[in-house]
Amino acid sequence: MTERENLLTALGGGTPRWIPDFSVATDMRVCSAVRDRYDGRGGGCDSYGVHWTTDEKTGQPTPTPGLKRLPDITRWREESLFPDLSGVDWVATAEQDLRGVDPTERAFALLQPFGLFERLHCLMGFEDAFCNFHEQPEAMHELIDAIVDFKVAVLEKVLPLYRPDVVEYMDDWGSEGAPFFSMDLFDEFLRPGTQRIVDVVHAHGARFLMHCDGKVEAFVPAMVEMGVDAWNPCQVMNDVRGLKTRYQNRLAFFYGLDNQGVLDREGVTEAELRQEVRRAIDELAPGGGFAIQPSFVRDDPWAMKILNDEIRIHGGAPA
């Protein structure tokens, strides 16, 4: 069995031969025709005109404070927020982006960063996004529909050419302690468009992996109803074991590691990293439908090497 076959078994809710390590079992790429954030040194703009600056503490780019791309939601049409796709050579872009991908050995994952809520607060900031849901609901509905239309148009071009096994769609809906918004707000503004994106991914034969940080267990039933195939990172502030028991055959659970308390903690030891891997596997692997997806806010090759090694050992991977 290949790494790809083993991972797809877990992604489908089955019991893999060994615990898949997502970082080893997948080759993840993005479509370079649309830049959802600026990844260069220093700062610069993404394809939507949002200016980004690298955060010195984490090394990650973040929308530059004080430079709102959309200061007035009612003028979103005049701002020309969406990049022109008419001149994109999709075939040439796919050939470039897929160099080195071997779909026989490793699963191919297409990353779709900055889902609907994330794109909204990238454009206008968190405060304006929350206020506009309540103060300008008509304009927010219109803008969200336009964002979904754009994302679907890109996916309709990309999916037939890239043919991913899985699309990892990123949209964080909660903080460490609670969801960012109510279920009523989610159902009215965000769920319909997210459903359209899930459906187009499935229509092209790919699995839908929902990346959603924070305490978002309240949204898991909706994920299941929408047909989401897997959820990550299943952070420890959620009742992940309870959710897995409830949705064992309807949703796969990926990740399950404690970033804030262990992986990204300053001074974490090798023993603590290995113990965290063993805890996650022992707690979440029974019943199948589970894979570990180690990642960091900070770049730490030393810790990643340890995690990969312990996942291989405790997860029963072949030598």
- Cis peptide upstream of residue 233 (ω within 30 degrees of 0): yes
Percent of the chain with pLDDT over 70: 100
Q: Tell me, what's the pLDDT at 60?
A: 82
Closest CA to 122 of 55, 64, 178: 64
pLDDT for 58 beyond 80: no
The per-residue DSSP string of 257-305 comes to --IIIIITSTT--HHHHHHHHHHHHHHH-TTS-EEB----SS--HHHHH
Tens digit of pLDDT for each residue in 233-257? 999 999 999 999 999 989 999 988 9
What is the torsional sign of CA 90, 92, 96, 98?
Answer: positive
Q: Which two tokens stand for residue 290?
A: 């589970």
Residue 319: its pLDDT value, please? 82
Options 3.40.50.300, 3.20.20.210, 3.40.50.410, 3.40.50.980; CATH of 3-314: 3.20.20.210
pLDDT score of 113: 92
265: confidence class by pLDDT, cuts 50, 70, 90: very high
| Phi, psi angles (nearest 5°) of residue 52 | -120, 150
The answer to whether residue 42 scores a pLDDT higher than 90 is no
Q: Rounded mean pLDDT of 62-70?
A: 94
Average pLDDT over residues 31-51: 92
Helix axes 137-162, 116-124, angle to 10 degrees: 120
Residue range 183-228, pLDDT digits in tens: 999 999 999 999 999 999 999 999 999 999 999 999 999 999 999 9
Helical ranges in 77-136 per DSSP H: 90-97, 116-124, 126-135
3-class state of residue 63 by DSSP: strand
Over its C-alpha atoms, the chain yields an Rg (Å, rounded) of: 19
User: What are the residue boundaries of the structural domains of the chain, listed by start?
Assistant: 3-314
Per-residue confidence (pLDDT) for residue 41, from 0 to 100: 75
Q: CA-to-CA distance for 161 and 252, rounded, in angstroms? A: 26
Tens of pLDDT along 96-137?
999 999 989 999 999 999 999 999 999 999 999 999 999 999
For the entire predicted model, the pTM comes to: 0.96
